[in-house]
Structure 1
Amino acid sequence: MNKTVDISLLTNQQGGLHCSKDALTDVFGWFLQVLLACLAFTCLIAKRFCEPRHERRSWLIWFYDTSKQGMGALAIHLANVWLAGQYTGDPCTWYIINFLLDSSIGLLIIFIGIKLSQCLARRKGWEAINFGEYGKPPSINAWLAQCCLYLGLMVIVKTTITLFMQLDFWEKVKDFILSPINNPKVELAFVMLIIPFFVNILMFWVTDNFLMHRNRKRVITPRRSSAEQGLLNRVKIQYRSIRRNDKRRDSESDILLSADEELLDPDDILQKTSTKPIVT
């Protein structure tokens, strides 16, 4: 009895062991993980329908773009689940710390890696590593090359985060990050579903914008200053008034000519010419 009390006091002093060591990999834990994956996949489908119709990707291109992100997220998730059990203390706290670091620092590393690969693709002509470009028709070889490159970025992200987690101050962070929650099931739901759901919506949306191809050809019209625009409008108005006056004059002259021709009868014209004296 005394031993159990001592163990409980020890765990409370260390921040509380709310989740058991196998909480992330039991039936309830796997159920939450599958539910989270389905919700994240639904978010990516909804994002496709939010795209403008003239820029909306085909289902094949959408699958090529999102499958890379899906495989990378799965690899990071499994690595976090495994690493959470390797630390001492509550595995739920270690998992959520790794997850939040992957969603912030890791997202920055992904952005830098994608931009570098696109820059190399343009300079070296390596179209296979240009994220979002698969050729016409879309080539599965380009998709495989980009998948391998994206998974390589995930390895860099996870290695960087794991080294960053070796700092001592994370021991203090884990003691209070989930301290208000005392129910193991509720804590697991927060760690594996509620918090990752909202963070994944933002992260998947932003990462998909990194991975998808965008048509950057735009028609650029020169901008004029307000003074130039006002002068141009005055010139247009004067030009229209001049054209209008010219048309009015032309119409008036036509009316006068037609009236003169009506007044002069052909017989009168012949009579006038016949009465003229002939000079010899």
Structure 2
Amino acid sequence: MSVLVVKRWAEIPRRPLGVWLFDASKQAIGAGVAHAANIAIAIALVGYTDTGTTDECAMYFVNFSLDTSLGVVFNWMLLTLVTTAAKRMRWTALQTPGDYGDPVRVRVWLLQLLSWLGVILTAKLLIGRGIVYFQAGLVAYAAWVFAPLEGHPRVELIVVMVACPCLMNALQFWVQDSFLKKKTKYDLLPRTDKGHGKHHAGYHEYDVSDAPPSPPPYSLQSASLHHHPHHPSR
């Protein structure tokens, strides 16, 4: 989760703390559910493909690797389908991910959390189905990857359950936060006034909805009506 703290610190404009906590909590809870699902899928796959040589750590690694790569794509596609359906069905709470109302409402966050968990579990089922379909190649790949650690079960456990999740989850969280948060339209303009907008290193947020109206287009006809050249008398 520390990667989300760094991401919020670097983003411009920075999300309000309450909104960021809601965004981050969706990923935290979703990661916990995904972790439990990964373990269950790995155990089920070992029982389904048990040849006497497949170990659960290797299958967990394969499942986790697919989850943090192909799973992110599935999550984005499924979330897009949810928001599209919400707009057609006029489900306001699910139309814009990361928008929890003004003021922020827990009910909206809870509905978005439940939809996000549904997205994650659906992606898990798709990935699990793919693993079963390509089981022969994936089992051989998992056995080849973990062959050097065959006599070191503790090292294998640390690599699979600690090292890989930390690195791969960091990248996954960073990417998923980009489509789980609310999109904002703004321009970065030089700061010319004080006490207006959110200042960030000499810049403030400029909402396009607050922009002054554009002047009417310049035309030759309007110019001729206001310009009367002086012709000297002969």
User: What's the secondary structure of 1:166's corresponding residue?
Assistant: helix
Asked if the contact 2:59/2:139 (under 8 Å) is kept, the reply is no
> 1:63 aligned to 2:32?
no
Residue matched to 2:142: 174
Q: CA deviation at 1:113?
A: 1.8
- The yes-or-no answer on 1:162 pairing with 2:128 is yes
2:76 maps to 1:111: yes
1:122 deviates by 4.1
1:120 CA drift (Å): 3.5
Question: Matched residues in 2 for 1:120 and 1:78: separation?
Answer: 28
Q: Is contact 1:96–1:191 with CA below 8 Å preserved after alignment?
A: yes
**What is the aligned partner in structure 2 of residue 223 from structure 1?**
none
Distance 1:122 1:159 in 2: 26
The answer to whether 1:42 aligns with 2:2 is yes
State the shift of 1:202 in Å: 0.7
What is the number of residues matched between the two proteins? 177
| Aligned counterparts, 1:64-79, within 5 A | 64-79=22-37
Question: d(CA) in 1 for partners of 2:37 and 2:80?
Answer: 25
1:110 & 1:122 partners in 2: Cα distance?
A: 18
Shift of 1:197: 1.3
What corresponds to 1:134 in structure 2?
100
Indicate the larger mover: 96-105 or 42-51: 42-51
SS at structure 2 position matched to 1:132: coil
**CA RMSD of superposed structures (Å):** 1.7
Q: Highest CA radius of gyration, 1 or 2?
A: 1
Counterparts of 1:127 and 1:133, CA distance in 2:
10
Question: What fraction of aligned residue pairs are identical, expressed as a percent?
Answer: 33
Give me the whole-angstrom Cα distance separating, in 1, the residues matched to 2:71 and 2:144: 23
Residue 201 of structure 2 corresponds to residue 201 of structure 1: no
Aligned to 2:211: none
Task: Write the letter of the residue equivalent to 2:126.
Answer: T
Counterpart of 2:169, as a letter, is N
How does 1:77-156 map onto structure 2 within 5 Å?
Answer: 77-86=35-44, 87=46, 88=50, 89-129=54-94, 130-156=96-122
Are the equivalent residues in 1 in contact too, given 2:97–2:182 (CA < 8 A)?
A: yes
Give distance in 1, aligned partners of 2:100 and 2:85: 16
Question: Where is the helix percentage greater, Structure 1 or Structure 2?
Answer: 1
User: Residues 111 and 210 of structure 1 are in contact (CA less than 8 Å); yes or no, is this contact kept in structure 2?
Assistant: yes
Q: Which has the higher strand share?
A: 2
Match of 1:51 in 2: 11
Structure 2 Cα separation of the partners of residues 202 and 83 of structure 1: 22
| Separation in 1, partners of 2:123, 2:164 | 20
C-alpha separation between the residues in 2 aligned to 1:163 and 1:120?
A: 25
Give me the whole-angstrom Cα distance separating, in 2, the residues matched to 1:76 and 1:103. Answer: 10
Secondary structure of residue in 2 paired with 1:157: helix
Cα displacement string for residues 32-52 of structure 1 (whole angstroms, at most 9, x for unaligned residues): xxxxxxxxx222222211212
Distance 1:45 1:103 in 2: 20
Give, in angstroms, the shift of residue 93 of structure 1: 0.2
Given the superposition, is the C-alpha separation of residues 117 and 84 from structure 1 closer, same or farther in structure 2, using an over 3 Å criterion? Answer: closer
In 1, Cα distance between the equivalents of 2:14 and 2:89?
Answer: 29
For 2:80 and 2:40, the matched residues in 1 are separated by 30
Report how far residue 162 of structure 1 moved.
1.3
Match of 1:216 among 185, 207, 221: 185
Q: Contact 1:127/1:133 (CA < 8 Å) preserved in 2?
A: no
- CA distance in 1 between partners of 2:182 and 2:119 (Å): 19
**Normalising by the residue count of structure 1, what TM-score does the alignment of the two structures yield?**
0.59
Instruction: Return the offset for 1:183.
Output: 1.5
1:174 to partner: Cα distance = 2.0
1:174 is paired with a residue whose SS is helix
AA at the equivalent of 2:25: S
Distance 1:85 1:110 in 2: 23
